[in-house]
């Protein structure tokens, strides 16, 4: 897990076996930003979601691709984060999409340099989004 803020972290693809450690880290909500078509059945949202829920975690599915990175999905991700009862972990293939969708949701609320800096501390270079932020 790579923290972006005190209450939002991202990661590359997780597995069902990761759920006890995710819960132990204090995460209460997991958001899947990875489309099922990118992974085998063992790593698709249904399998990961069942494991999350078995640990008592809230699980949401919001697949993000270049085509689905829309203002509506940015707003939905932001609402899921804000509505969570605690720290959130969002994942995709590398964590980049989960970082970008968060960053776009922060545009206009935080300075662009703060958003870019938070992402950079987690290992994600969003400097190319400066204009959109």
For each of the chain's 133 residues, which pLDDT tens digit applies?
Answer: 999 999 999 999 999 999 999 999 999 999 999 999 999 999 999 999 999 999 999 999 999 999 999 999 999 999 999 999 999 999 999 999 999 999 999 999 999 999 999 999 999 999 999 999 9
Q: Give phi and psi for 95, each to the nearest 5.
A: 100, -10
What structural domains and CATH numbers belong to the chain? 2-125 (3.90.190.10)
User: If DSSP codes are grouped into helix, strand and coil, which group holds residue 1?
Assistant: coil
User: H or E segment at 18?
Assistant: none
Q: For the chain, what is the total number of helices (H) and then of strands (E)?
A: 5, 5
Q: Which two tokens stand for residue 122?
A: 């987690």
């Amino acid at each position: 897990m790579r923290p972006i803020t005190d209450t939002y972290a991202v990661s590359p693809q997780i597995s069902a076996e990761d759920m006890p450690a995710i819960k132990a880290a204090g995460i209460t909500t997991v958001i899947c930003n990875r489309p099922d078509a990118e992974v085998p059945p063992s790593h698709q949202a249904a399998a990961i979601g069942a494991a999350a829920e078995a640990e008592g975690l809230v699980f949401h599915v919001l697949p993000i691709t270049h085509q689905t990175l829309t203002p509506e999905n940015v707003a939905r991700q932001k609402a899921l984060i804000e509505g969570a009862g605690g720290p959130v972990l969002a994942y995709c293939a590398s964590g980049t999409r989960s970082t970008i969708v968060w960053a776009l949701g922060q545009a206009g609320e935080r300075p662009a340099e703060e958003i870019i800096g938070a992402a950079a501390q987690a290992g994600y270079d969003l400097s190319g989004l400066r204009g959109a932020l």
